[in-house]
C-alpha cells in the first residue's frame, strides 16, 4: 500500500484521484492557492495547539501569574465593521508573545505585551471558526465548519483553503505531525501542511490526539478509536460516554468519560490497564491532563478535581474545585484549574495544596471555560459569555 506521505507528495494540481485499500479520495483546494514555503521549526514559547501538544497532555514550561496579577480584556479593541466588540468562539493558541484568537467570523492576532493597541491583524474567514486553531510552519490554521484555512502568522494573508472541516465545536479537532495536519470532523482527513492537499482517511472522530505513529479519536456515539497514519483501524473500545479528547503520552492513552470514569489504555493494543469511577467527577467533556507519573482529571460538572497515579489510577489527592469544564494546565510543580464559577486556582502538583486563586469577582471574569498558559500568565476563555481575558 502506498504511504500517506508518498501519496500527498505525488499528487499534482488536478482535482481527485481514487486509490484502493484504506486510502481515501485525495484532492487539493486551489482557490487563492499559495504554498507554504517557510521553515517548520517549533515556535518559541508556544502553546501551538489545543492541549499544548498533539498528545493533548496539557503540559507547559511557563510559570503562573504573580499573586498581584491583573486582568485585561483581550477583545476590547477587536470590533466588527459596525463597531461591535467581537466574541471569542474557542480557546486561542500562542507563540512568541502573540495570541491568535478565534473571534466572531474569523481570526485575530494580538500582541500580549500590548493588547490595548488592538489586533496586529484581524481576518474574516469565509467559513468562520469552529475550534481552536493550530500553529505550524510560521502559519496559523483555522478550522471552520467545512473548510480549513491557512494564514501567514505575521500578516494574516491567506495561503490556501482546503475543503475539510470540523463539524463539532470542540477544541481538539486538528493537530499536526511532521508535515501533515490531521482533522477530525465526523470523518478523518490528512492535509499536507504546505500545499493543502487533502487525503480522506477511513477513520472517523469528533476529537483527536496524536503520537508518532497513530491517531486517537473519540466519538460520542461509538467510543475510542486508534488508527495508523493511513487511517487503518488498530483498535476500538465501544462507549457512548466519552466526549472529551483522549490524551496520549509514552505509549498510554487516557480518557475521562461523562460518568466520571477515568481509564488508561495501551496505545498499541487497546488493552485497558485500569478504569476507575471518580467520586465528585461528572460529565467531563474537555479532556484531562497528564505529566510524568500523574494524571489530572477536572471535576467537569461535578465538585471535585483529582490527581491520579498514572500507573495504577489510584487517587493521590482530591480538591473541592467546584465545576471545572476546561482541561487542566500542568507546570513543573503546579497544576491549574479554571474553576467555572469561582476563578483560576493553582495547586501543588504533589500534594494538591492550594497555592493561590484569582477570583472571578475580584478580576471580573465571566464563567471560565478554559485556560491557555503564557509566560507569567494565563489567557482565560470565558466560554458561556465568549469573553477572553489575559491574567498577567
Residue 1 has pLDDT above 90, yes or no: no
Q: How confident is the model at residue 24 (pLDDT cuts 50, 70, 90)?
A: low
Residue 38: per-residue pLDDT: 80
Q: How confident is the model at residue 67 (pLDDT cuts 50, 70, 90)?
A: very high
The long-range contacts involving 149-155, CB below 8 angstroms and separated by at least 24 positions, are 149/125, 150/36, 150/193, 150/196, 151/107, 151/123, 153/95, 153/98, 153/100, 153/109, 155/121
Residue 26: per-residue pLDDT: 58
> What digits encode the pLDDT tens for the residues 136-154?
999 999 999 999 999 999 9
Mean pLDDT is lowest, of 198-207, 311-320, 342-351, for: 198-207
Question: Which are the contacts of 331, defined by CB distance < 8 A and separation ≥ 6?
Answer: 59, 60, 61, 62, 63, 64, 349, 373
CATH of domain 25-33+43-391: 2.130.10.10
Q: In the chain, where are the structural domains located? A: 25-33+43-391
> What digits encode the pLDDT tens for the residues 68-116?
999 999 999 888 778 788 899 999 999 999 999 999 889 999 999 999 8
Residue 27: per-residue pLDDT: 54
Q: What mean pLDDT value characterizes the chain?
A: 90
Q: Nearest 5°: phi and psi at 151?
A: -125, 150
By residue count, the chain amounts to 392
HEC letters along 271-321 = CEEEEEECCCCECCCCCCEEECCEEEECCECCCEEEEEECCCCCEEEEEEC
Q: Whole-prediction pTM value? A: 0.92
Residue 81: per-residue pLDDT: 75
Q: What is the dihedral of CA 82, 86, 89, 94, to 10 degrees?
A: 130
Amino acid at each position: 500500500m502506498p504511504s500517506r506521505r508518498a501519496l500527498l507528495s505525488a499528487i499534482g494540481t488536478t482535482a481527485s484521484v481514487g486509490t484502493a485499500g484504506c486510502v481515501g479520495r485525495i484532492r487539493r483546494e486551489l482557490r487563492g492557492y499559495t504554498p507554504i514555503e517557510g521553515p517548520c521549526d517549533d515556535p518559541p514559547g508556544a502553546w501551538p495547539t489545543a492541549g499544548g501538544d498533539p498528545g493533548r497532555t496539557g503540559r507547559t514550561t511557563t510559570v503562573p501569574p504573580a499573586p498581584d496579577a491583573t486582568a485585561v480584556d483581550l477583545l476590547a479593541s477587536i470590533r466588527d465593521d459596525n463597531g461591535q466588540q467581537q466574541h471569542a468562539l474557542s480557546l486561542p493558541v500562542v507563540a512568541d508573545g502573540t495570541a491568535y484568537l478565534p473571534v466572531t467570523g474569523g481570526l485575530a492576532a494580538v500582541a500580549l505585551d500590548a493588547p490595548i493597541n488592538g489586533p496586529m491583524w484581524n481576518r474574516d474567514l469565509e467559513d468562520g471558526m469552529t475550534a481552536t486553531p493550530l500553529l505550524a510552519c510560521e502559519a496559523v490554521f483555522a478550522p471552520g465548519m467545512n473548510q480549513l484555512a491557512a494564514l501567514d502568522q505575521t500578516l494574516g494573508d491567506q495561503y490556501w483553503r482546503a475543503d475539510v472541516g470540523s463539524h463539532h465545536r470542540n477544541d481538539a479537532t486538528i493537530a499536526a505531525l511532521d508535515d501533515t495536519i490531521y482533522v477530525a470532523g465526523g470523518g478523518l482527513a490528512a492535509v499536507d501542511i504546505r500545499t493543502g492537499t487533502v487525503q480522506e482517511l477511513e477513520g472517523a472522530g469528533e476529537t483527536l490526539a496524536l503520537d508518532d505513529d497513530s491517531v486517537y479519536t473519540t466519538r460520542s456515539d461509538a467510543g475510542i478509536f486508534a488508527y495508523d497514519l493511513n487511517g487503518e483501524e488498530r483498535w476500538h473500545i465501544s462507549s457512548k460516554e466519552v466526549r472529551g479528547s483522549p490524551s496520549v503520552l509514552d505509549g498510554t492513552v487516557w480518557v475521562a468519560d461523562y460518568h466520571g470514569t477515568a481509564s488508561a489504555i495501551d496505545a498499541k493494543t487497546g488493552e485497558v490497564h485500569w478504569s476507575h469511577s471518580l467520586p465528585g467527577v461528572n460529565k467531563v467533556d474537555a479532556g484531562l491532563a497528564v505529566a510524568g507519573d500523574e494524571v489530572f482529571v477536572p471535576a467537569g460538572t461535578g465538585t471535585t478535581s483529582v490527581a491520579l497515579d498514572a500507573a495504577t489510577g489510584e487517587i493521590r489527592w482530591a480538591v473541592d474545585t467546584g465545576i471545572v469544564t476546561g482541561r487542566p494546565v500542568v507546570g513543573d510543580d503546579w497544576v491549574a484549574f479554571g474553576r467555572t464559577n469561582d476563578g483560576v486556582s493553582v495547586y501543588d502538583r504533589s500534594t494538591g495544596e492550594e497555592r493561590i486563586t484569582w477570583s472571578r469577582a475580584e478580576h471580573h471574569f465571566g464563567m471560565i471555560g478554559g485556560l491557555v498558559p503564557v509566560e507569567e500568565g494565563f489567557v482565560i476563555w470565558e466560554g458561556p459569555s465568549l469573553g477572553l481575558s489575559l491574567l498577567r
